[in-house]
Amino acid sequence: MIRANTLQELFDVAVLLSTQPMPLGPRVGVVTNAGGPGILLADMGETHGLVFPELTPRTTAALRPFLPPQAGLANPIDMIASATPAQYTRTIELVGVDPNIDALIVIYIPPLVTEPAEIAQAIAHGAGTVPASKPVLTVFMTSHGVPATLNTGPRRALPTYTFPENAALALSAAVRYGRWRTQPRGTPLRLSSFAHSAVRAVIDRVLANVSGSLWLQPGDVATVLQAAGITLAAAEQTSPAEAVATAERLGYPLVAKVVSPDVLHKRDVGGVILGLDTPAAVASAVETLVARMQQRQARLDGILLQRIFPPKPKY
């Protein structure tokens, strides 16, 4: 599950993951024809865990001969407003294969000197040279819609965003999701035949004479959980008259809980009393619980006494 903070972000992430591979890491390369949008993207991306590393000297050296002297070769790569289709394609090719990046974002804001359709076609062609393991995102900052040529390259459909911040948020969500997917999946619990039989015996017995829903009694719950290998604090259901003797046998400290078919959430009705560490405290708590159930006219089947263990120390 991927959490989105807005409906827009939900669709932005869905478009990315439905068209591109899962990013292998948070390192992003940015190619743009305007420095401002590149910086906005980097600021938003860094806030949400993306990284914008320096490109290798080899990549930088390959970019310098065909880009204008005014171009910024630090990541984001700012080709300036005069960037041609050929410069877009070649820059995407070089930055896309740089070993220091895991994903590529290409930004275009229409100046008067280039045609959006030609740039879109150049981006589509360049994206086809980026390794298939790296996602490619685009930002087309135009109110006239994205040219259809953007989706005609080897990668077919490319995720496109109107603003750089949207692209940064979508990619950061995909990076977090990809990181989660690399974590160990764990080992599913497999019950032994004996444990399976023990659980099945409890369930079959309980369901034998009922037709609707019900809650298991504390003893049955303990049997099922212990058969599954889940350790429980020692507990015993007893009557009010035998509570003190049961407490002495279990040891202290204890918690006392009502057992009643008329009470689902015990704490809501004062049906749980904690911190009982003496026989007198147990006797007083039981007396209080009995009185509370009588006031509610709830049936009392017994008192559950359970050991309390202190939390493990933190190191």
- From first to last of its 315 residues, what are the pLDDT tens digits of the chain? 898 999 999 999 999 999 999 999 999 999 999 999 999 999 999 999 999 999 999 999 999 999 999 999 999 999 999 999 999 999 999 999 999 999 999 999 998 778 899 999 999 999 999 999 999 999 999 888 899 999 999 999 999 999 999 999 999 999 999 999 999 988 888 889 999 999 999 999 999 988 888 888 888 999 999 998 898 899 999 999 999 999 999 999 999 999 998 988 899 999 999 999 999 999 999 999 999 999 999 999 999 999 998 776 665
pTM over 0.75: no
Alpha-carbon distance of 104 to 139, in angstroms, equals 11
**Considering only CA atoms, which of 171, 52, 146, 138 is closest in space to residue 101?**
52
Q: What is the pLDDT of residue 188?
A: 83
Q: Helix, strand, coil proportions of the chain in percent (round to 5)?
A: 45, 15, 45
Longest alpha-carbon distance in the chain: 93
Query: 299 is written with which tokens?
Result: 């049936």
Residue 77: how many CB atoms within 10 A of its CB?
26
What pLDDT score was predicted for residue 27? 98
Alpha carbons 235 and 250: distance in angstroms, whole number: 7
**Residue 56 parent element (H or E):** none
Per-residue model confidence (pLDDT) at position 71: 96
